[in-house]
Amino acid sequence: MSGPLRVLVVDDEAPAVRRLQRLLQDHPLAEFAGSASHAGEALEACLSLHPDVVLLDVEMPGMDGVSAARRMLRLDQPPQIVFVTAFEQYAVDAFDLHALDYLVKPVRAERLDKALRRAAATRQRGRGRRITLSARLGERLLAIPLDEVRVLLAEDKYTCVHYVGGEALIEDSLMSLEERFGEHFVRVHRAALVSRQHLRALVRDPDGHERVEVEGCRVRPEVSRRNLATIRRLLTS
């Protein structure tokens, strides 16, 4: 049986932190793991406390909650994000980031309960199975864990998967992979997707083409002009 959800509360207002802490102390599925008052402190807490869920305020001094969430989701062990704010206009940003939920202040106990139960169910599903891509190497069928995939390149009628430990061809198209796993990969070119979590740098090659460096992969896909702004935003957020 899994233990309670470890929940980190991030808010620059002490009364809001205390209220959420009280609600968490009364919840059967959660425990209060700690708090942070700004984004930098929250990112450090994610690395040291490994929370399952972050209750994240949007408007904070310095880096806002949306930018902080983008960084959290690139961690090796990303938490589930629940935005908590008084401003409903951020809902679109929240769901673009695949946030688990979006709570409006003052947070009601029943809405927090719903969000935490969703988090518990999501954690249980993730613990039960690991998403893989199926590739054939000769007579052998290979299951490549999605979290080990770094780059996907279109090659004729196939897609070449560059993953930790090697590369393999699969029959899935880039378009279908992007539709299924858009939260994991970002398009850099009409013929290339790369892992969002492992995107590291934008470099210019001797011919003047912009390319991305991806952690754990020697392939550096070219970035098309139409995707350049998106890649720059991901690298600076």
Residues 115, 163 within the same domain: no
Residues 36, 140 within the same domain: no
| Residue-number span of the structural domain to which 115 is assigned | 5-128
pLDDT tens-digit series, residues 100-134: 888 888 999 999 999 999 899 888 766 545 577 88
Residues 28, 87 within the same domain: yes
Residues 218, 137 within the same domain: yes
pLDDT tens-digit series, residues 170-184: 988 999 899 888 889
Residues 196, 219 within the same domain: yes
- The yes-or-no verdict on residue 224 having pLDDT over 80 is yes
Q: Which of 104, 128, 152 is the last residue of a domain?
A: 128
Cα–Cα nearest to 52, from 146, 131, 126, 105:
126
How far, in Å, CA of 233 to CA of 142, rounded? 35
Q: What is the separation of C-alpha 18 from the centre of its chain, rounded to a whole number of angstroms? A: 27
Cα–Cα nearest to 180, from 228, 128, 132, 216:
132
How far, in Å, CA of 55 to CA of 57, rounded? 7
Residues 114, 188 within the same domain: no
pLDDT tens-digit series, residues 156-212: 889 999 998 889 999 889 998 998 888 899 999 999 999 999 999 999 999 999 999
Q: Which of 72, 96, 128 is the last residue of a domain?
A: 128
Q: Which of 109, 128, 147 is the last residue of a domain?
A: 128
Cα–Cα nearest to 119, from 54, 74, 57:
54
Rounded to an integer, the average pLDDT of 60-74 is 85
Residues 51, 94 within the same domain: yes
Residues 43, 66 within the same domain: yes
Domain total of the chain: 2
Phi, psi values for residue 91, rounded to 5°: -60, -40
What's the CATH number where 222 sits?
2.40.50.1020
